[in-house]
Structure 1
Amino acid sequence: MAVEGSTITSRIKNLLRSPSIKLRRNKAGNRREDLSSKVTLEKVLGITVSGGRGLACDPRSGLVAYPAGCVVVLFNPRKHKQHHILNSSRKTITALAFSPDGKYLVTGESGHMPAVRVWDVAERSQVAELQEHKYGVACVAFSPSAKYIVSVGYQHDMIVNVWAWKKNIVVASNKVSSRVTAVSFSEDCSYFVTAGNRHIKFWYLDDSKTSKVNATVPLLGRSGLLGELRNNLFTDVACGRGKKADSTFCITSSGLLCEFSDRRLLDKWVELRTTVAHCISVSQDYIFCGCADGTVRLFNPSNLHFLSTLPRPHALGTDIASITEASRLFSGVANARYPDTIALTFDPTNQWLSCVYNDHSIYVWDVRDPKKVGKVYSALYHSSCVWSVEVYPEVKDSNQACLPPSSFITCSSDNTIRLWNTESSGVHGSTLHRNILSSDLIKIIYVDGNTQALLDTDLPGGDKADASLMDPRVGIRSVCVSPNGQHLASGDRMGTLRVHELQSLSEMLKVEAHDSEILCLEYSKPDTGLKLLASASRDRLIHVLDAGREYSLQQTLDEHSSSITAVKFAASDGQVRMISCGADKSIYFRTAQKSGDGVQFTRTHHVVRKTTLYDMDVEPSWKYTAIGCQDRNIRIFNISSGKQKKLFKGSQGEDGTLIKVQTDPSGIYIATSCSDKNLSIFDFSSGECVATMFGHSGECSLDYLSRS
């Protein structure tokens, strides 16, 4: 149920108040808007760059491109605006590059039979699909003439292809014997260079031959003469520009910057004075080297003389809410640790350097004066899979609200809970203020755990730990906000329940409530007359706590025989109900009975179906509950009687499982998330699908964000 790679694209626009929307009436006479062309991807809060091959800049417009799941984000640092290219194959985008004129973008992807795709940047539409690789595309590049595209496959297929992409043919091809991490074209288009494990290779293109032959010809390659550096892992490569067009620059993971001549000879190298080097970017005037601990070294390409070290980003574990002035960012912190720099791209027109760090943050630095670098833009995102998203409730008395309207909260395997607001310029009624590090992010709550230790972990293939690959035993699994907006409950993957006071963000409760991960949390609504919190876990237990009495335990229910996937409260027919479902294919309907100073829930109905039940929501009238099932159906049950009212398909596809369901605040629509990576919106009454969308390259969570 995680959002792969930490991208959050679950903001579904609530357009119910828009005067321009065409409305239709359903059988019940309620107004229903036509959503088929109205649901759009508004903003992506996340990034899935894993190396220099996943970050690119259009040298003419300054547009920065990076992958976020199966979406390419086209970001304008000057205007802080995003546009998006959506990969309809739903495959994770692994590499991308702009054409020299900025008109086209080429992407590579992972998965079975991956494609190299070419996109028109202005139209954001696909213009070519090139399919020859079998397992994944490690890196891609346009030739300086934009006539050719080179693509290199994952180490499993080890194929280097040169495409005449407008003809959709491979004009030259060959195999490599090592894992390739990067590729770069020479300025005169006569050759390109690949870099990888014990590998620097020069590949030569004879344009006169490749233009005339329609069949694929062998690609001529010659290894660089590495000498005593032959056992190194070369993590990135960039061919020289301008006066140094005959040179090729590369870096080793051990921290060496190397220069090769046009005769493939290793001319010279310098030490970067770092534990590990990840990426390189070369212009006519500068060489930028991205290294461990947030370091970026700047060198002169003409002689490899060291020029300066750029400022580092935020320290890991920083209280971002306390950084309201830029000067705080440039003042060092003793014994602080910083995220590694894993990708660089340079805009020569504006003299801006975009950097991505391995905690999934992005910074754009103004390097016009290397001795006085300024920050143009920055954003911080989850560094691991996002498990849950919760919208902050509407609080009647705005002075009592801890967060501004349209705020939402996410939790992740990176052991953080993040508070977001993408619209408000300030935080009304709260001591929280906007920070200079991430305009969409209000606050980060760091929970127990060493995230940096996970980020430092080496993975198979030499990459550093990334989002979905972090330790599955840690992380925050579920969050829920109390109806009055004052408390935030969270459950982690070890079974620990925490409650934070949202005004001060202080931890007011921490208890080892379960023996396994807490899959769901639910507060009772004020209309029930009760102040309860239910926590349900993979350990098959539901704990009911009294939130009005310092979260004292009221009852423990152990009727389920397998993981409990959802629990909800409702009030109907003058009774307070609690409904739960789980992997044991059971649904339990319970009714509250007063017992002494508290309440006890007793079972009134028990329903068993033939499919696993993954998620549940109660519609606003509290008459019915909707359950998302493994067979991709939505089953609607009457809460009072426990009887099934209707069943309809919750996914347009024929594969996957429904993992999340969510009714909108009006009760007209129900949204679903399917493991086939599609989101859908259905009419709750008729079951008609009114909109579908995609953007994630993994399973995703969702919630409605109401907006005026």
Structure 2
Amino acid sequence: MAAVGSGGYARNDAGEKLPSVMAGVPARRGQSSPPPAPPICLRRRTRLSTASEETVQNRVSLEKVLGITAQNSSGLTCDPGTGHVAYLAGMWRMGPASESCGEDSIAPSLSRTVPGMYCVVVILDPKENKQQHIFNTARKSLSALAFSPDGKYIVTGENGHRPAVRIWDVEEKNQVAEMLGHKYGVACVAFSPNMKHIVSMGYQHDMVLNVWDWKKDIVVASNKVSCRVIALSFSEDSSYFVTVGNRHVRFWFLEVSTETKVTSTVPLVGRSGILGELHNNIFCGVACGRGRMAGSTFCVSYSGLLCQFNEKRVLEKWINLKVSLSSCLCVSQELIFCGCTDGIVRIFQAHSLHYLANLPKPHYLGVDVAQGLEP
């Protein structure tokens, strides 16, 4: 009698009685006919109705976002009117998957979904430690954002192919405008102080710098930048803005570019800052002066240099922050705040660049030690 052994080969063993096998269960020794295996019934689960899916999704709400997904200072912004901080954070999104899932509870409905990644804008009230959230319904992650001067809107840029520049209503948490003018991602965005324009700067491979009339959804001025741009800042009177990046500090004059009464996009007029011996630096932060310092522009480099440009775009003075790395800066009418590595924030006087102090670091345990009781 020929049989197939465990290794898959044929053998003749007429003198040996083979054990019987049924339903994949080997027979026991001394037992000629083992009990049959329990029957297996395969059936297709029914698909939940759309109404049931929506009911399940309505039961799930985002309570709090932990962490931040920001590549640089362009992924974080502050509303000076309310003190609210907005930043980008990645989030898991639920979408439809296969239909072979259970039908008897909520858990199968959740298992009928697959994860996808998209971004949420977190608006944090630091005084109350409460969050509000704006969800990007598009399938692209967000890369940059900025508050409008009145705090009513937030503009965002996206990563990926054909990214959009979107305007969001902060109070209603919904999108009010969408503008398409880039190909390969948006590095930074900003409102002009007079609220008339929005500037969006593409990534290095995109190279496009656009000035939008966002209420009409048109590009009023545009140009190309061959180097990587990391940050931008508007002047107080909205007449120009400044972009900084790899060996790059450039002043763009908005009034000159848009004063011609034409219906098509006009070239954006730009002039490079005169860097002198600092031309090989990578500048990662920029802020135009306020108040009596409105004619000055302040920049900070990754190497830890704080620079001041005058009205003629000339590097007037610079100081060494004495840190291994710096990343951003913020300017008020009287003060300059420079963010550096290891949580260091140095404070300088705006008119003289005189060093004042460092901001105290938060306690390692995350508590306010000033509120502790005396022993």
TM-score, normalized by the shorter chain, greater than 0.5: yes
Structure 2: gaps (5+ residues): 1-46, 91-118
Specify which of 52, 62, 66 is matched with residue 87 of structure 2.
66
Q: Residues 327 and 197 of structure 1: is their aligned pair in 2 closer, same or farther, counting only changes over 3 Å?
A: same
Specify which of 222, 237, 241 is matched with residue 271 of structure 2.
222
What residue number does 1:266 align with?
315
SS of 1:53 mapped into structure 2: helix
Q: Residues 87 and 324 of structure 1: is their aligned pair in 2 closer, same or farther, counting only changes over 3 Å?
A: closer
Aligned amino acid, residue 74 of structure 1: I
What residue number does 2:78 align with?
57
Alignment of 1:82-93 (within 5 A): 82-93=131-142
Q: CA deviation at 1:35?
A: 3.2
SS of 2:263 mapped into structure 1: coil
Structure ID, larger Rg:
2
Aligned amino acid, residue 92 of structure 1: S
Output the CA distance in 2 between the equivalents of 1:299 and 1:209. Answer: 36
Q: Residues 304 and 126 of structure 1: is their aligned pair in 2 closer, same or farther, counting only changes over 3 Å?
A: same
Deviations 1:632-665 (A, max 9, x none): xxxxxxxxxxxxxxxxxxxxxxxxxxxxxxxxxx
Output the CA distance in 2 between the equivalents of 1:109 and 1:178. Answer: 19
Deviations 1:237-278 (A, max 9, x none): 010111101100001111110000111000101110101111
What residue number does 1:484 align with?
none
Kindly indicate whether residue 90 of structure 2 is the aligned counterpart of residue 41 of structure 1: no
Q: CA deviation at 1:188?
A: 0.6
SS of 2:58 mapped into structure 1: coil
What residue number does 2:126 align with?
77
Aligned amino acid, residue 83 of structure 1: Q
Output the CA distance in 1 between the equivalents of 2:344 and 2:54. Answer: 51
Output the CA distance in 2 between the equivalents of 1:96 and 1:217. Answer: 25
Q: CA deviation at 1:84?
A: 0.4
Aligned amino acid, residue 35 of structure 1: V
Q: CA deviation at 1:312?
A: 2.6
Specify which of 239, 262, 265 is matched with residue 288 of structure 2.
239
What residue number does 2:369 align with?
326
Q: Residues 265 and 92 of structure 1: is their aligned pair in 2 closer, same or farther, counting only changes over 3 Å?
A: same
Specify which of 250, 260, 264 is matched with residue 201 of structure 1.
250
Output the CA distance in 1 between the equivalents of 2:53 and 2:298. Answer: 60
Q: CA deviation at 1:93?
A: 1.3
What residue number does 1:681 align with?
none
Q: Residues 227 and 84 of structure 1: is their aligned pair in 2 closer, same or farther, counting only changes over 3 Å?
A: same
Alignment of 1:246-395 (within 5 A): 246-313=295-362, 320=365, 326=369
- TM-score, length-normalised on structure 1? 0.40
Q: Residues 325 and 192 of structure 1: is their aligned pair in 2 closer, same or farther, counting only changes over 3 Å?
A: closer
Output the CA distance in 1 between the equivalents of 2:256 and 2:175. Answer: 26
SS of 1:287 mapped into structure 2: strand
Q: Residues 109 and 33 of structure 1: is their aligned pair in 2 closer, same or farther, counting only changes over 3 Å?
A: closer
Output the CA distance in 2 between the equivalents of 1:32 and 1:231. Answer: 57
Output the CA distance in 2 between the equivalents of 1:108 and 1:155. Answer: 14
Aligned amino acid, residue 181 of structure 1: I
Output the CA distance in 2 between the equivalents of 1:236 and 1:67. Answer: 18
Q: Residues 90 and 327 of structure 1: is their aligned pair in 2 closer, same or farther, counting only changes over 3 Å?
A: farther
What residue number does 2:162 align with?
113
Structure 1: gaps (5+ residues): 1-25, 330-708
* 1:171/1:210 contact within 8 Å kept: no
Q: Residues 134 and 46 of structure 1: is their aligned pair in 2 closer, same or farther, counting only changes over 3 Å?
A: same
SS of 1:83 mapped into structure 2: strand
SS of 1:42 mapped into structure 2: coil
Mean alpha-carbon deviation: is it higher for 39-48 or for 235-244? 39-48
Aligned amino acid, residue 166 of structure 2: R
SS of 1:206 mapped into structure 2: helix
* 2:347/2:358 contact within 8 Å kept: yes
* 1:60/1:102 contact within 8 Å kept: yes
Alignment of 1:588-603 (within 5 A): none
Q: CA deviation at 1:59?
A: 1.1
SS of 2:353 mapped into structure 1: coil
What residue number does 1:96 align with?
145
Deviations 1:504-550 (A, max 9, x none): xxxxxxxxxxxxxxxxxxxxxxxxxxxxxxxxxxxxxxxxxxxxxxx
Q: CA deviation at 1:189?
A: 0.6
Q: Residues 231 and 122 of structure 1: is their aligned pair in 2 closer, same or farther, counting only changes over 3 Å?
A: same
Output the CA distance in 2 between the equivalents of 1:196 and 1:328. Answer: 42
- TM-score, length-normalised on structure 2? 0.75
* 2:363/2:369 contact within 8 Å kept: no
Alignment of 1:414-563 (within 5 A): none
Q: Residues 306 and 33 of structure 1: is their aligned pair in 2 closer, same or farther, counting only changes over 3 Å?
A: closer
Aligned amino acid, residue 38 of structure 1: R
SS of 1:228 mapped into structure 2: helix
Q: Residues 108 and 211 of structure 1: is their aligned pair in 2 closer, same or farther, counting only changes over 3 Å?
A: farther
Output the CA distance in 2 between the equivalents of 1:130 and 1:91. Answer: 14
Aligned amino acid, residue 49 of structure 1: A
Q: Residues 185 and 114 of structure 1: is their aligned pair in 2 closer, same or farther, counting only changes over 3 Å?
A: same
Output the CA distance in 1 between the equivalents of 2:229 and 2:54. Answer: 50
Aligned amino acid, residue 288 of structure 1: F
Aligned amino acid, residue 262 of structure 1: E
Q: CA deviation at 1:60?
A: 1.0
Number of residue pairs matched by the alignment: 295
What do you get for the CA RMSD once the two structures are aligned?
A: 2.3
SS of 1:65 mapped into structure 2: strand
Deviations 1:328-358 (A, max 9, x none): 99xxxxxxxxxxxxxxxxxxxxxxxxxxxxx
Output the CA distance in 2 between the equivalents of 1:147 and 1:33. Answer: 40
Specify which of 158, 164, 175 is matched with residue 126 of structure 1.
175
* 1:287/1:301 contact within 8 Å kept: yes
